[in-house]
Structure 1
Amino acid sequence: MAVERLKEFISPCRLCPRNCLAERSKGDVGYCRVTDKPMVSSFGPHFGEEPVLVGWGGSGTIFFTGCNLGCVFCQNYQISHLMEGDYITVEELSEIMLYLQKRGCHNINLVTPTHQVTQIFEAVEIAKTKGLNVPIVYNCGGYESVEVLREIRGLVDIYMPDIKTFSYEFSKKYLVVPDYPDVVREAVIEMFNQVGHLKVNEYGIAEKGVMIRHLVMPNWTNDSLEILNWIADNLGRETYVNIMDQYYPYYRACDFPEICRRITEEEYSVVYNYAKKLKLRLAV
């Protein structure tokens, strides 16, 4: 069973590329500051996601506490960095998934799942024995272990990674991890090899595939263009991409003057129009 194999990764912890080796089954925590139990901040139907996820019933989001990245501009910093949330049992997590399906959500959207993969997919397996049948969305920051991704092959229907940067300077300074560009490239290729391009049903609701998010950052448009070129060259122009304009200098962003502002209309237009020029499949 995949879950039994995943338990081998959690203690000492090798679930993410940090490989911090925390003995989480003994109550220790690593960089993510979570033990081997599920820790959840909130859950419910979400209507602020991409239209192909939201439909008319909403995306069934579950926000997991903690994170394996240290983004200084995190918009969910209360959850990811300040650790707002509560420990629950795996059985309770499975019931949350079933509740969201019963509410009419089109999918189960796992927000920041990387560091809780073992707990999450144990809950998924339990929920499936009780009738869970909507797509599972893996909504992550892109800093993923390829080895772990291979263990969950077949358990994830839709991968939705952020590709935050291809710059080593950016990743070290703002994400607090030096090797993000190398890791995210390998991880996204693995995700794509598992599920391919995004497929939607006759109602326009996503069923399977890769959806990529990229947040345009102030003063970093050249980085964005490099990412778009890589997507087109390595995944193909049918790749579903959401180019996001909602950057706001949350959390500690204003410790860094160069990112202590919203992006300009021109910055966003440069990136969005370049994506259109590449004929990528853009979120609408």
Structure 2
Amino acid sequence: MAVYNRMPPEELQSRAEEAIRRLEHCEICPRRCGVNRIEGELGFCRTGRLAKVSSAGPHYGEEPPLVGYHGSGTIFFAGCNLACVFCQNYEISQLDMGVEVTAERLAGIMMHLQLTGCHNINLVTPTHVVPQILEALVIASEMGLSIPLVYNSGGYDSVDTLRLLDGIVDIYMPDAKYGSDEMAMRYSNAPGYVGVMKAAIKEMHRQVGDLVIENGIAVRGLLVRHLVLPDNLAGTDEVVRFISELSKNTYINIMDQYRPEYRADRYRELSRRITLSEYREALRLARAAGLSRGLEDI
């Protein structure tokens, strides 16, 4: 049973209503644009009252504990509160390819993924649509949704918004993209990213703890992703140090799939893939920091 099933329905409804109210002067993410999304005003994420969904379905390219036997039930939301110049999903995140969905439609998508046999509902890029997700979850839970919720974000999350999700999200899967604010600003237009990311991940860990895996399937906890960039531009050493200090039992995925996408070719230093030696060095740094979960078979 997912953790949100243990919450009294009136409390879940109250959380959703509070989140929707916050759209009137939006401070859902750390950018605090202040626009009235209820009235259709658009801030940095370019998303108004309704969430936009690009695609939804079983996904088998995620971490093994999420994929299991029947796949992770991914819902890709259009728009983003980051502007990564190398985004591999830029058509969705930056070009906003998606269709607006009502709360009822989003709840129906969640239920379909559960009926398909997916192990979880994997909310991809959820930061800017937390109110819409909660609104749909009220409906879906009444319809019988009972599989874990995965909050799959870029790590640029507001602690105040995350607190609305306490007791609702089962698995947090944030990126820890950068160890340097300078690089975060240059490549993702994310002011103060490092401090925001660290505060957010600490709050996520407070809520759910280290990743719990039962019969090979993740059921609760924190899983952190870190994408290695050329020439250590992501600051892997600082990222793994922070994660290790949070908990040496943190499940971490050190990712090697960087490739120049979107506008990366405008930056000479980002115009190539990483080398095998760069990836091995990132793994060495993670292990030297005392991390091992997620790295066992690499």
Fold match by TM threshold 0.5: yes
- State the distance in 2 between where 1:25 and 1:178 align: 26
User: Unaligned 5+ residue runs, structure 2?
Assistant: 1-13
Matched, 1:213 2:225: yes
Q: What SS is found at the alignment partner of 2:202?
A: helix
Q: Root-mean-square deviation (CA), in Å?
A: 1.1
Q: What SS is found at the alignment partner of 2:231?
A: coil
Asked if the contact 2:236/2:285 (under 8 Å) is kept, the reply is no
Q: What SS is found at the alignment partner of 1:154?
A: coil
2:113 to 93, 100, 106: 100
Q: What SS is found at the alignment partner of 1:61?
A: strand
Q: What SS is found at the alignment partner of 2:230?
A: coil
**Post-superposition offset of 1:279:** 3.4
**Post-superposition offset of 1:88:** 1.3
Per the alignment, residue 249 of structure 1 pairs with 260
Kindly, what percent of the aligned residue pairs are identical? Answer: 50
Q: TM-score, normalised by structure 1?
A: 0.97
Which amino acid is the alignment partner of residue 237 of structure 2? L
Per the alignment, residue 251 of structure 2 pairs with 240
Question: After superposition, where does 1:13-24 map in structure 2 within 5 Å?
Answer: 13-24=26-37
**Post-superposition offset of 1:67:** 0.1
Asked if the contact 2:176/2:225 (under 8 Å) is kept, the reply is yes
Asked if the contact 1:94/1:127 (under 8 Å) is kept, the reply is yes
Asked if the contact 2:76/2:123 (under 8 Å) is kept, the reply is yes
- State the distance in 2 between where 1:120 and 1:183 align: 22
Q: What SS is found at the alignment partner of 1:163?
A: coil
**Post-superposition offset of 1:277:** 3.0
Which amino acid is the alignment partner of residue 79 of structure 2? G
1:269 to 262, 274, 280: 280
Q: What SS is found at the alignment partner of 2:223?
A: strand
**Post-superposition offset of 1:222:** 7.5
- State the distance in 2 between where 1:231 and 1:36 align: 35
Per the alignment, residue 91 of structure 2 pairs with 78
Aligned residues: 282
- State the distance in 2 between where 1:189 and 1:86 align: 33
Asked if the contact 2:59/2:71 (under 8 Å) is kept, the reply is yes
**Post-superposition offset of 1:11:** 1.5
Per the alignment, residue 138 of structure 2 pairs with 125
Matched, 1:57 2:63: no
Q: What SS is found at the alignment partner of 2:25?
A: coil
Q: TM-score, normalised by structure 2?
A: 0.93
